[in-house]
Homo-oligomer: A and B are copies of this chain.
C-alpha cells in the first residue's frame, strides 16, 4: 500500500425524502465537509443529499463522478487514480449504505486492489432495519436481491427460498421494485405454505413506515395494500 494513498469513505444516506441530520450520525459530517472527490450513481440526487446533510456545503468546489450499474472495473480503477495519489474520496449511495444492494461494491473492490483503505460510515440499511424489526432469525440469514420477474419462474424461486428457510430455520430476505410490491405479496401468498412466516417492512425510518410479521395465512386474509413504497420482504420458519 502506497503510504501517500488517500482513503475511500462510504457515506450512507436516508431511506426516503423525510428527515434530516437527526437520522444520521453527526460525526459523518467531518468526512462530508472535508472530502471534495465524490462517486455517485446520479449527480443530481447526490448533490441534493449532500446539501440535505449540510446546507452550508459549497457544492461548486466538489468533483462528482458517476459510477453506476453500467460502470466497469476499468472505470473504477481509472476513477480511483487520484485516490491512489493521496486524495481522499467518498461514495454516496442513492439510499442506505453504498455497496449493499447498490453498484458501489465494484468501486470498493477496485479500492482494495489499489491498496486504498476503505472506511464505512454509520447509517441506515433497510435490510437490517427490517430484519431486526421482523423478529425472524438474526443469527442466520440470506439476502437474495430481486427475484425473477416472470410469475412462474418467480413462484419457483419463492418455493425454493421457502424450503431453504424451513430446512435451515434461517431468514430469507428479498427486495422488489416498489411498483411490484403488491404482485410479489400475491405470489408469496400463492406459493408459500399457510404457516410460513413473512415480514414486510415498508418505508422504515420514514413517516407512516411499518414492519409486521405474520403467517402467510394472515397476510392472505388481511392483504393490506402495500402501495409503491420501498419494501423489504423476509420469509421465515415458524420453527426456531
Taking CB atoms and an 8 Å cut-off, the chain A residues in 106-146 that contact chain B are 106-112, 117-120, 122-125, 127-145
A23 at the interface (CB under 8 A from B): yes
Is A214 a contact partner of B138 (Cβ separation < 8 A)? no
A26 at the interface (CB under 8 A from B): yes
Is A135 a contact partner of B118 (Cβ separation < 8 A)? yes
**Cross-interface CB contact of A140 among B112, B124, B144, B210, cutoff 8 Å:** B144
**Cross-interface CB contact of A141 among B21, B23, B142, cutoff 8 Å:** B142
Stretch at the interface among A34-42, A52-60, A94-102, A178-186: A94-102
Neighbouring B residues of A27 by C-beta, 8 Å: 19, 22-23
Protomer copies: 2
A25 at the interface (CB under 8 A from B): yes
The docked-state distance in angstroms from the alpha carbon of A24 to that of B120 is 14
Is A138 a contact partner of B24 (Cβ separation < 8 A)? no
Question: Considering only CB atoms, which chain B residue lies closest to A111 in the complex?
Answer: B135
Neighbouring B residues of A99 by C-beta, 8 Å: 131-135, 138
A118 and B25 contact, Cβ closer than 8 Å, known pairs A100-B132, A111-B135:
no
Is A128 a contact partner of B106 (Cβ separation < 8 A)? no
What distance in Å separates the Cβ of A29 from its nearest Cβ neighbour in chain B? 9
A157 at the interface (CB under 8 A from B): no
One digit per residue, 1 when the CB lies within 8 angstroms of any chain B CB and 0 when it does not, for chain A 6-48 equals: 0000100000000101111111000000000000000000000
A150 at the interface (CB under 8 A from B): no
Is A213 a contact partner of B112 (Cβ separation < 8 A)? yes
By a beta-carbon cutoff of 8 Å, the part of chain A in contact with chain B is: 10, 19, 21-27, 97-102, 104-112, 117-120, 122-125, 127-145, 170, 199, 204-205, 210-214, 240
